[in-house]
């Protein structure tokens, strides 16, 4: 299920607050992002620990190619 939603700013940054501790996935929900001539998607696991901040960087290294190829 969708726990929360975030949009990025002009520098590609987003933040989410108020999630309870636990395991989540950061996903582009099958929406492609353009990276040059490549279309990328993300489904990245993240664990939220009590009282801590989790930082996740979405890059071409933890993405999948929208055409099914994994770079």
C-alpha 24/C-alpha 15 separation (Å) is 14
Asked whether 70 and 64 are in contact (CB, 8 A), the reply is yes
C-alpha 55/C-alpha 38 separation (Å) is 25
pLDDT tens-digit map of 9-46: 988 899 999 999 999 999 988 788 887 888 899 999 99
Domain boundaries, the chain: 1-71
Banded pLDDT at 54 (limits 50, 70, 90): very high
Q: Quick check: helix, strand or coil at residue 60? A: helix
């Amino acid at each position: 299920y969708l726990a929360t939603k975030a949009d990025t700013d002009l520098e590609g940054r987003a933040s989410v607050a108020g999630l309870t501790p636990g395991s989540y996935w950061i996903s582009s929900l099958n929406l492609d992002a353009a990276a040059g001539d490549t279309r990328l998607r993300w489904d990245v696991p993240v664990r939220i620990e009590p009282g801590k901040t989790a930082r996740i960087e979405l890059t071409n290294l933890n993405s999948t190619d929208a055409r099914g190829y994994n770079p």
